[in-house]
Amino acid sequence: MKRVHNFNAGPCVLPKAAINATIEALRDFSGTGMSVIEVSHRSKEWQAVMDETEMLWKEILNIPDGYKVLFLGGGASLQFLMVPMNFLEKKAAYLETGVWAKKALKEAKGIGEVVCVASSADTTYNYIPKGYAIPTDADYFHITTNNTIYGTEIREDMDCPIPLIADMSSDIMSRPVDVSKYTLIYGGAQKNVGPAGVTFAIVKEEALGKMSRYLPTMLDYRTHVENGSMFNTPPVFSILVMNETLKWLKSIGGLKVMQQMNEEKSSMLYNEIDRNSMFVGTAEKASRSVMNICWIMADGYKDKEELFMAFAKERGMVGIKGHRSVGGFRASLYNACPKESVGALVACMQEFEKLNK
Catalytic (active-site) positions: 100, 167, 191
The angle formed by the CA atoms of residues 178, 183 and 185, to the nearest 5 degrees, is 70
3-state secondary structure the chain: CCCCEECCCCCCCCCHHHHHHHHHHHHCCCCCCCCCCCCCCCCHHHHHHHHHHHHHHHHHCCCCCCEEEEEECCHHHHHHHHHHHHHCCCEEEEEECCHHHHHHHHHHHCCCEEEEEEECHHHCCCCCCCCCCCCCCCCCEEEECEECCCCEECCCCCCCCCCEEEECCCCCCCCCCCHHHCCEEEEECCCCCCCCCCEEEEEEHHHCCCCCCCCCHHHCHHHHHHCCCCCCCCCHHHHHHHHHHHHHHHHCCCHHHHHHHHHHHHHHHHHHHHHCCCEEECCCHHHECCCEEEEEECCCCHHHHHHHHHHHHHCCEECCECCCCCCCEEEECCCCCCHHHHHHHHHHHHHHHHHHC
- Distance from C-alpha of 317 to C-alpha of 8, rounded to nearest angstrom: 10
